[in-house]
Amino acid sequence: MHLARRIVVIWAIDALALWMLAPVVTGLELSSWVWAIWAIAVIGLLNALVRPFLLVVTLPFTVLTLGLFSLVLNAIIVLLADLVLPGLQVADLISAIWTVLGIALINTIVTGLLSINDDESFYRNVILSFARRTVPEERTDQPGLIIVEIDGLSERALNMALERGYMPTLANWLGSERFQMTPWECGLPSQTSSSQAGILYGRNENIPAFRWYEKKDQRWMISNRPWAAAEIHDRLSDGTGLLVNDGSSLTNLVSGDAPHSAMTMSSLLDRPGAMRQRSYGYYLLFLNPYSFSRTLVLMVWEAIREIGQYWRERLRRSPFPHTRGGIFPISRAVTNVFLRELNLYLLIEDMLSGTPIVYSTFLGYDVVAHHAGPLHTDSLRTLQHFDEGLAALDRAARRAPRPYQFVLLSDHGQSSGATFSQRYGFNLETLVDRALDGQEQVVGPPAEDESWAHLNALLSQAIQVESVAGRTARRVFRRRTTEGYVEFGPPRTPVEHPTSEVVVCTSGNLGLVYFTDTPGRLSLEELTVRFPRLISTLVGHPGIGFVLVRSSLYGPVVIGRQGINYLETSQVDGVDPLASFGEDAGDQLRRLDEFSNIGDLLINSTYFPQADEVAAFEDLVGSHGGLGGDQTSAFIIHPSHWSPPEKPIRNSAGIYHLIQGWLRNQEEEPIPPPPLIAEGDSGTAVPEPVHR
């Protein structure tokens, strides 16, 4: 649909919405349908003329309310239109707010029913708005690189989404033969902090799980806490991170040495960040006259969809629907709508500013898949809006001051199945306690709602911006701020030494057990003397696949119910406990065994090959962290003229070296990427050959 025609159609839809709301919203009156048309025109004019002044005056309030105050601004514009138009009457501010929300809701519904891609029009306006403010005058022919990560998406899940038509933009990219997909394995542990560290730093040693315990310092480490993420960065960074050359890190756990970052956990403490200089994109989502109303409507709809799906699962007597209850509908709306939109804004700003390399993570699929299952239709459908975002990024690339190449990848996959506690009625901590015959108190860091971490990251980023809004936010949140990190939500796990002698840390279907009264790692022989029933009780349980422990005589050994694998010699007595976990399982465990902070015991749940299920130790039906199923499966989609890896990648550090090689080759022989989507409104991909 051409732009002029689209404007007329959207104008008509908004006028129709206003006319429909008049008999419904108390305090809203229209003399006739003609005044609805005039009202929408005047509201648009006032947004262009008056709103910029209001934004400057009210910016701190908009930021402190996470954009909710923008609804008040929209309502004020409606009240101003009431003063201008005799045929429009709005009684008060509350009536105006309901009018604004009603128009946004009806617009979203009608454009969806008419198959009008309003998202495309919306993102185009975002791009044009950025272009007027940020595109530098000088252009360069040296290509930049945009790396987009979809958290937790396995190769199999991606292929299912493509086959079902959920990702037409990506399907066109691959179908044009300008891009190719290469599968790879992330290795152990199969979780974001380890995998992302390997991709961004080229190394990920001593990250044994998402949650682990440091015996040396007597404290827990939880990867999505800013202090832990900052320490991971400090341990691994040698100044050669993937993003060190004026790059940008968006919504990641670690920064990859990027001098510019936003909502990156390792950079949220009191450290310099580029968003202090480049804050426009962070606030545009809140300040655009239409964006926040639209985003709020989409968030409400996302929450309603989740509640509906929850009850459908209950009525179908799903064996594990309860993991979708509680505040998860709100968490899903925040990550799958709000953070996605904000991430796109920041990416577009970086591209139109000419940033040479950007790495950005999208979290929505992973969050939903944890609760619905990685191959569930509800999880795969979250990729539809992400796919629309890819098309928006391509349109932004055509207006950028440099050509851009795109790389799309995942950091790991997910495996599904009823959890350990759902299958057996108790958790891993209880099993360890029973195996110790009650001789020690057993504790572990409680599971934390990641939605609070995402919200806290948003607020922490807001106070880092050097502006009136940032300074105001710092004053308001000072009692909730520690080292530059704003923290809301339930009390967090303390980082000091626990009172217990035994700590159990779970990450998906991977568990680490630490005996804190001993500074070093206890051997199999020492554990057997102290706790004679410990190993036999653990490996004898049907939900435990194997236990890794170090023997003072034989080195690392993997013990299962019916056999032992001596990793140093690859000798197996009885049935190999790693037989169902893949041919690379032994190598992965040998590497993990060398970590200085691995637990005295490493426990992996059973993998049920016929059902393709694991039994996660966390209360999540889609999980990752250990071995078994698709959780170690990942993919990378890259330009076809970039050579794929010469041998299979078994650790995320291999992706770092692969991309670095591509960048070196590109410097020697730059190949400007062709446009992926033809100019116009259709969004249809136009295949064009790549010429060297």
- CB distance 266 to 258 below 8 Å: no
Q: Which of 678, 168, 104 is nearest to 388 (CA)?
A: 168
Helix-, strand-, coil-residue percentages of the chain, each rounded to 5:
45, 15, 35
User: pLDDT digits over 457-497, tens only?
Assistant: 777 776 776 666 667 667 777 777 776 777 776 655 444 45
- Judged against a pLDDT cut of 70, whether residue 644 lies above it is answered with yes
pLDDT by residue (tens digit) across 7-45?
677 778 888 888 888 888 989 988 888 888 888 888 878
What mean pLDDT do residues 264-277 have?
62
- Tens of pLDDT, residue by residue over 376-393, are 999 999 999 899 899 889
The type of residue at 363 is L
Tell me, what's the pLDDT at 282?
A: 58
pLDDT at 387: 94
Domains of the chain: 3-115 (no CATH), 130-202+241-417+631-668 (3.40.720), 420-448+493-620 (no CATH)
Instruction: Answer whether residue 215 shows pLDDT above 80.
Output: yes
The predicted model scores a pTM of 0.85
Which whole-number Å values give the CA distances from 102 to 17, 19, 193, 690, in the listed order?
7, 11, 42, 47
Q: What secondary structure does DSSP assign to 520-547, as a single string?
A: SPPPHHHHHHH-TTHHHHHHHSTTEEEE
Residue 322 half-sphere exposure toward CB, CA atoms < 13 A: 6
93 pLDDT above the threshold of 50: yes
Please give the average per-residue pLDDT across 613-631, as a whole number. 94
SS3 634: strand
Helix (H) or strand (E) holding 393: helix 383-399
In the chain, % of residues over pLDDT 90: 46
Of 685 and 198, the one with more pLDDT: 198
Please say whether the beta carbons of 78 and 85 come within 8 A.
no
pLDDT for 304-361, tens place per residue? 888 888 777 777 766 554 566 677 787 788 888 888 888 888 898 888 888 999 999 9
pLDDT at 120 over 60: no
Identify the H or E element spanning 572.
strand 571-574
Average pLDDT, the chain: 83
| Four-CA torsion 68, 71, 73, 74, nearest 10 degrees | 160
pLDDT of residue 277: 38
Mean pLDDT of 269-278: 48
Range in 211-220, 290-299, 447-456, 625-634 with the lowest mean pLDDT: 447-456
pLDDT at position 685 is 34
What six digits make up the tokens of 347? 């990416």
- Which of 137-141, 243-247, 680-684 shows the lowest mean pLDDT across its residues? 680-684
Beta bridge partners of residue 608, listed in sequence order: 613
Q: Is residue 413 within 8 Å of residue 632, measured between CB atoms?
A: yes
Give the pLDDT band (50/70/90) at residue 153. Answer: very high
Predicted local confidence at residue 681, as pLDDT:
41
What is the per-residue pLDDT for 444?
A: 80
**Model confidence pLDDT, tens digit, residues 531-564:** 999 999 999 999 999 999 999 999 999 999 999 9
Chain segment 279-298, per-residue pLDDT in tens = 555 566 655 556 666 777 78
